[in-house]
Amino acid sequence: MRDISLEVVVTGLVQGVGFRPFVYRIATKSKLAGWVLNTNENVKIQVTGTPENIESFLHSLKNESPQAAAIDKISTQTIATENFESFSIHGSHDVSDEITEISPDIAVCDECLQDIDQPGSRLNYAFVNCTNCGPRFTIIQDLPYDRAKTTMKSFAMCPDCHTEYKNVLDRRFHAQPTACSICGPEYEMFIGKKKISADISHIINEVSQCIENGEVLLIKGLGGMHLACDAFSETAVQKLRDLKIREGKPFAVMFRDIESLKLYAEVNAIEEQSLISWRRPIVLLNQKNAINLPVLANGLNSGLNLLGVILPYMPFHYLLFRNLKTNAIVLTSGNFSSEPILIDNELALEHFSPLVDAVILHNRDIYNRTDDSVVRIIGDKERVFRRSRGYVPTPVRTALNTEGILAFGAELTNCFCVGKGQKAFLSQHIGDLQGLETTLFYEKTLAQFIQLFRVKPSLLAVDMHLEYVSTKTGLRLGDYPVVQVQHHHAHIASCMAEHHLNEKVIGVAFDGTGYGTDGNIWGSEFLVCDLNDFTRVTHFDYIPMPGGDLAAEETWRTAVSYLYKVFGTGFLSLELLLLKKIDPEKIRLIIQMIDRNINCPLTSGAGRLFDCVASLLDLVQVATFQAEGPMRLESIIENNCTESYPFTSGETIRFDKTIRCIVEDIQLGIDKATISTKFHNTIISAIFESVNIIRQAESINKVVLSGGVFQNKYLLEGTTAMLLSTNFEVYSHASVPTNDGGIALGQLAVASKRRELLCV
C-alpha cells in the first residue's frame, strides 16, 4: 500500500511529562518516519507510513500516553507525502505569545525507585526523577520549561546525567530536574542550628531514630516543609499539637504502603485509585478499629472517625520507611497555624530549630509553594477539597472566554484564578487572608501566575465585601473594570463553569459565611441564576449571631441564639449539657446582646445551624478548627436511620420545630447518633422541598449544589439521590473545591459572562 503523510497537533498537558519520547517510541514501533517537536502552544508531529501503521500510531497516541499527560485535543491533517529517513525529535520552537500547560509535581515512579537500589550515582539518592516523575510546578520559575528556568539551574549536570539528558531513548531525555548524587541537590540535618550531617544514609538513620524516640522533626519536602512524628505515639502527637499552637485540626498520616494503610482505614476501589495516583493527595477515609494492632494516637483526629491518609511520594519518604519500624508517621504542614507552609531554609532554622528535635533541609529551592492536596470520595467520585500539589497548575477548561480576567477569591480558604483563552488557572491553596504572611504569599503568587501564564489583565472580579483582603488587593491593582460578585452566586457559578453550564439553574449554596446583598451574612441560599445574575428565592430564617465571627468559633453562642428564638427565656430551665457547661452569666450576656442588638449580625448560614445542633448534643462548645461542629455531627451518623424532624418552608425555611424536637429527643435520652442522622435527613428534606417548589414555579430542572457544607458526604450523597429520584439533573463539584477555594472560578465565570453581555 502507498505511504501517506499526516500532520498531528496535540494540545493539553503534553510537555514536561515525557510526551516526545513517548511519541518517538510509538512512531518507531508503528514503523513510521517523521518528527515531533514542542512549540510553546502544542506538540507537533509529522509522520509518513502506510495507512494501517498510521492508524495504529494514532490509536497508541490516544490510549497509551504517559500517566501525567492530559490530552485536550488531537487534530490531524493529511499533507503532501514526505520522504523522511527515520523518526526524530526536533528542538523546541516558539511560535507566538501563547503558553503551554505546566505539569503539576508527579510522585516518584517505580523505575526511579528501582534506581535507588542500583549501585552507582543514584544509589540511595533522594532526588532521583525522570521524564515520568519528579518536581515540576514547585520548581518552575518561567516558561518555556527548561532547566535554566527552574530552581535546578544552580546544579550543573555531571557528564553522565548530561548523556542521559541528550539521549532520546533514555528515560531522562530532557528531564529538566534530572540529577544524581554527584551533581544534584542534597539533604542536610540540623540539631539546633548546628549542621550535623549531609550524608543521606546517616540522616535517614538519625531521622528514624528520632521518630522512634517520640521526637518531632521538621522535614523539607516538595512544596514546603512538613512536621513529622510517630503516628502511634500519643506524647509525640501531643508535642506536635503544642508546637502548632491552638490548632485542633486533624493531622494527616503517611503510611508505609497501601497494605498497612488498609489495616487502619476502610478503602474502596475508587479511594485506592486516588491514594496510589501520581498526584498522591491526602485522602479522607473512615478510620477502622485496629484489632490486635498498635493503635494510632487518639490526638491525631481527636475522636473524629475521619482520617486523612497519604502514601509516600518522594524518594526520601521511601528511604525513610525502609529504615523505620513504625508503619505510619504524622506528616502535617510545617507552619504555625494561620501562616502558609514554610519553604525558606533560613526561616525554618530560625523559627523551628528551637522548637523541634531536628530540622532536615535540602538545597533545591521551592519556587511555587504547595501544600499536600486533600480529596474525599463522595458518590464514587473524587472531590478535591484542597487543590494544591499534584493538581495545580492544571487549568479548569471552561466554555467561556476568560482571557485577561483576574478573580481574587474569598477571604478564607483563598485561591485566586486567572484566565487565558478558555482556560481558568486556579491557584494553589493560599489559606486564610488574615495574617501578614498569608497575604504576602497571596500577592506574590498572583504576580507569579500573571507572569508564568502571560496574562494581560483586562478585567477584575472580586467579592462584594469591600473589607476582604482579596477585594482590596483587586481594587488596588489599577485602572481596570471591576465586576463584583456575590459570594453564593460565585459558588454556583463555579460549579456551573466546572460543568460547562451556561443557562438558568436552581442553585443551592450552603456554607458558613458570605456577604449578602442586604448586608446580612448569607449561607443557605436557594438561587435561580445564570452566570450573569441571580435571584434569591428562599433561605434559612435569619438568626442573630452574638459576637459576630466569634460565634463561628464558640458554637454554644449560636445554640443560645436558636434556643432563645424558639423558647424565649424558657430555655434556661431546659435539661441541656450546654447550660451546665457554659457560665450562666455568659449566657445572660448573650441574651442581652440579642435583645439590644449589640454586635449581633443576622445570619442565614447553614453552618451555624449545624454548629447549634453540635452544641446541643455537646459535641463541640468551642471549636478548635474550622467546621468542627459539622464534622463531628457527620462523624457520628448512623446510616440506617431514615427518620427526620419537622420544619416549615416558605419565604424562609424555619427550623423552630426541628430545634424543639431535637431538645425533646435529648431529654428523652435518644442517642446522639440517631439525633444527628435525623437532623441531616431534615436538611436533605428541606433542600428537596424547596427545590421542588422552585421547579414548579420556574420550570428549571437543573440543580447545582455548592458551598463548603457539601463536603459532608452523607448530605451530598443523600441530597443527590433524593433529587435524582425525581428526575432532577444534579451537579456538584469534583475537580474544583466546593468550599471557598472554588469561589474565584465562579467570580471569573460571572465576569466573563458579563463582559460577553457588554455589562462591563
**Residues with a known catalytic role:** 20, 38
- Enumerate the β-bridge partners of residue 463: 485
Residue 511 binding: pick among Fe ion, Zn ion, none (C-beta 5-8 Å cut-off by kind): Fe ion
Do residues 107 and 133 lie in contact, with contact meaning Cβ atoms separated by under 8 Å?
Answer: yes
**Sole residue written with cell 510526551:** 19
Residue 30 or residue 471: which is nearer to Fe ion going by CB? 471
Q: Label residue 544 exposed, middle or buried (CB < 10 Å: 0-12, 13-18, 19+).
A: buried
3-state secondary structure of 690: helix
Under rule CB under 5 A, residue 180 binds Zn ion? yes
Among residue numbers 130 through 149, which ones bind Zn ion (CB under 5 A)?
Answer: 130, 132-133
Site map for Zn ion, 680-719, x if CB under 5 A? ----------------------------------------
Q: Which residue is nearest to Fe ion (CB)?
A: 511
Distance CA 685, CA 399 (A): 33
- Answer for the pair 531, 750: CB distance below 8 angstroms, yes or no: yes
Q: Looking at 349-357, 455-463, 508-516, 603-611, which segment touches Fe ion (CB under 5 A)? A: 508-516
Residue 594's contacts (CB-CB under 8 Å, 6 or more residues apart) are: 544, 546, 561, 564, 600
23 binds, among Zn ion, Fe ion, none (CB under 5 to 8 A by kind): none
Select 215 or 511, whichever has its Cβ closest to Fe ion: 511
Q: Exposed, middle or buried, 191 (CB in 10 Å: 0-12/13-18/19+)?
A: middle
- Partner whose binding site includes residue 722, from Zn ion, Fe ion, none (CB under 5 to 8 Å by kind): none
133 vs 560, beta carbon nearer Zn ion: 133
Smallest gap from residue 398 Cβ to Fe ion (A): 20
- Of the residues 33, 161, 309, 462, which one makes contact with Zn ion according to CB under 5 A: 161
158 is in the binding site of which of Fe ion, Zn ion, none (Cβ under 5 to 8 A by kind)? Zn ion
Work out what residue 516 binds among Fe ion, Zn ion, none; the CB cut-off runs from 5 to 8 Å by kind.
none
Closest CA to 736 of 552, 531, 522, 500: 500
Q: Decide whether 134 or 514 has the Cβ nearer to Fe ion.
A: 514
Among the listed residues 195, 155, 239, the one whose alpha carbon sits nearest the alpha carbon of residue 361? 195
Q: Which region, judged by CB under 5 A, interacts with Zn ion, from 112-120, 311-319, 334-342, 357-365?
A: 112-120
Q: With H, G, I as helix, E, B as strand and everything else as coil, classify residue 16.
A: coil
Cell numbers linked to 515:
456577604
Instruction: By CB under 5 A, tell whether 196 contacts Zn ion.
Output: no
Which residue among 740, 750, 752, 753 contacts Fe ion (CB under 5 A)? 740
Task: Find which of Fe ion, Zn ion, none residue 627 binds, CB within 5 to 8 Å per kind.
Answer: none
Identify the residue among 182, 477, 528, 572 touching Zn ion (CB under 5 A): 182
Q: Where are the alpha helices (DSSP H) in 487-641?
A: 487-498, 550-553, 555-567, 577-581, 584-596, 606-616, 628-635
Report helix, strand or coil for 11: strand
Residue 136 CB, nearest approach to Zn ion (Å): 12
CB of 188 to Zn ion, least distance (A): 19
CB of 202 to Zn ion, least distance (A): 21
130 binds, among Zn ion, Fe ion, none (CB under 5 to 8 A by kind): Zn ion
In DSSP terms, which residues pair with 93 in a beta bridge?
39
Q: Which does 345 bind (CB under 5 to 8 A by kind): Fe ion, Zn ion, none?
A: none
Number of chain residues interacting with Zn ion (CB under 5 A)? 10
Closest CA to 563 of 639, 441, 658, 483: 658
Q: Which of 101, 115, 357, 511 binds Fe ion (CB under 5 A)?
A: 511
Residue 186 in contact with residue 202, Cβ under 8 Å? Answer: no
Site string for Fe ion, 455-494 (x = CB under 5 A): ----------------------------------------
Is residue 432 part of the contact set for Fe ion (CB under 5 A)? no
Q: Which is nearer to Fe ion, 494 or 502 (CB)?
A: 494
Closest CA to 220 of 323, 347, 102: 347
How many chain residues interact with Fe ion (CB under 5 A)? Answer: 3
| Residues 6 or more apart whose Cβ sits within 8 Å of residue 407 | 416, 417, 418, 419, 460, 461, 462, 744, 745, 746, 747, 748, 751
Applying CB under 5 A, the span of 77-85, 154-162, 636-644, 650-658 interacting with Zn ion comes to: 154-162
> Residue 62 burial by CB count (10 A; 0-12/13-18/19+): exposed, middle or buried?
exposed
Do the beta carbons of residue 87 and residue 43 sit within 8 Å?
Answer: no
| Residue choice 54, 107, 112, 405 for contact with Zn ion (CB under 5 A) | 112
Spatial distance between the Cα atoms of 68 and 58, rounded to a whole number of angstroms = 19
| Partner whose binding site includes residue 133, from Zn ion, Fe ion, none (CB under 5 to 8 Å by kind) | Zn ion
Segment interacting with Zn ion, rule: CB under 5 A, options 105-113, 337-345, 375-383, 660-668: 105-113
Angstrom distance (rounded) from CA 88 to CA 20: 10
- Name which of 172 and 369 has its Cβ closer to Zn ion: 172
Q: Which is nearer to Zn ion, 280 or 632 (CB)?
A: 280
In the complex, the smallest distance separating the C-beta of residue 128 from Zn ion, rounded to whole angstroms, is 7
**What residue ranges bind Fe ion (CB under 5 A)?**
511, 514, 740
**What residue ranges bind Zn ion (CB under 5 A)?**
109, 112, 130, 132-133, 158, 161, 180, 182-183
